[in-house]
Amino acid sequence: MSEKVAVIYYSATGNTEAMAEAVSIGAKSVVEDVLLAPVADVDPETIGKEYSHIILGCSAWGVEVIEEEQMKPFCEKLKPFLKGKIMGIFGSCGWSRGAWLNSWYNELHFAGAVFPAQPLLAYGYPDKESLKKCEDLGKKVAGTR
């Protein structure tokens, strides 16, 4: 499988989408084949079979969980394909401390994913420093072999 990176996200307000765009910029600085797409536009089986590196983004919902209508079902269908996949996760929130990112990380790691970087959290719309960290996440995940 050639090195292909998928940056898949759910964004209700545009905050996580801005993070995803920065992550994809970082990934594109390392590999040519980078897909940037909202979770509603992609098939988890296709992503799992065709991409060697997967970076997911989602904001916090409810009592610190990932979005349950699109991202949660996507991840459940993606899990059988995660053994040995290089992954990263990120998200935005307005109030949490990132518990949903840690739970999500643990769930995907338990499914077999390999994480070269810790989950990345931004509060509200990502500021310049947060966007730089997003680019760095994209570079780190895309550059891991």
How confident is the model over 16-71, as pLDDT tens digits? 999 999 999 999 999 999 999 999 999 999 999 999 999 999 988 876 788 999 99
Number of Cβ within 10 Å of residue 127's Cβ equals 11
Q: What is the CATH number that goes with domain 5-142?
A: 3.40.50.360
How confident is the model over 78-122, as pLDDT tens digits? 999 999 999 999 999 877 778 889 999 999 999 999 999 999 999
Q: Please choose, from the candidates 4, 49, 10, 1, the residue with its C-alpha nearest in 3D space to the C-alpha of residue 28.
A: 4
Region 131-142 average pLDDT: 98
CA distances 31 to 52, 62, 79, 86, Å, are 12, 36, 24, 14
CA distances 25 to 7, 32, 67, 71, Å, are 10, 10, 24, 22
pLDDT band at 2 (very low <50, low <70, confident <90, very high): low
C-alpha triplet 16, 18, 24: angle, nearest 5°: 100
Domain ranges of the chain: 5-142
Asked whether the CA dihedral 35, 41, 46, 52 is positive or negative, the reply is positive
Partners of residue 58 on adjacent β-strands: 10
